[in-house]
Amino acid sequence: MWKSTLISILFLVSPFLVCDPDPDVKSYILTNKGKLIGQIPAQKDGSLKYDVAGLEDGLHRFMIIFCTQYECKVTGVYFEFTRPYDIKFLNPPPRREK
């Protein structure tokens, strides 16, 4: 089961939308403001790394769907940011117990 938290890492070089590795995930389907971006192949470890540097200024709202070999599921996490960057989770995932 996918239990990763989506985060955005802002580097001086380029910002990325990323998530923790999950070896069962083969790809991610991304939408931005309800428009399909496409199916992004997962990294070798099953993580997501999507470069958002080329997006125009303004509000962006991503919905992430993860796909295993057998099915695709909505993560339940929507990620929104405004460029210039003002990052926030619309529905923060619950904190993990240690």
Asked if the structure places residue 10 within a domain, the reply is no
In Å, how far are 7, 79, 96 from 87, measured between CA atoms?
9, 8, 21
DSSP annotation of 25 reads -
Asked if the structure places residue 42 within a domain, the reply is yes
Q: Which of 12, 58, 3 is nearest to 32 (CA)?
A: 58
Asked if the structure places residue 2 within a domain, the reply is no
Asked if the structure places residue 79 within a domain, the reply is yes
pTM: 0.69
Tens-of-pLDDT digits for all 98 residues of the chain? 444 455 444 444 567 888 889 999 999 999 999 899 999 999 999 999 998 888 888 888 999 899 999 999 987 778 888 777 655 555 555 665 65
Asked if the structure places residue 31 within a domain, the reply is yes
d(CA 61, CA 38): 15
DSSP annotation of 56 reads P
Domains of the chain: total: 1
Check residue 12 and give its pLDDT: 44
Q: 83 lies in which domain range?
A: 20-89
* CATH code, domain carrying 41: 2.60.40
In Å, how far are 51, 53, 65, 66, 91 from 75, measured between CA atoms?
19, 23, 6, 7, 11
Q: Which two tokens stand for residue 22?
A: 């999950």
Asked if the structure places residue 76 within a domain, the reply is yes
Asked if the structure places residue 56 within a domain, the reply is yes
Check residue 68 and give its pLDDT: 94
Q: Which two tokens stand for residue 4?
A: 């990763």
Asked if the structure places residue 45 within a domain, the reply is yes
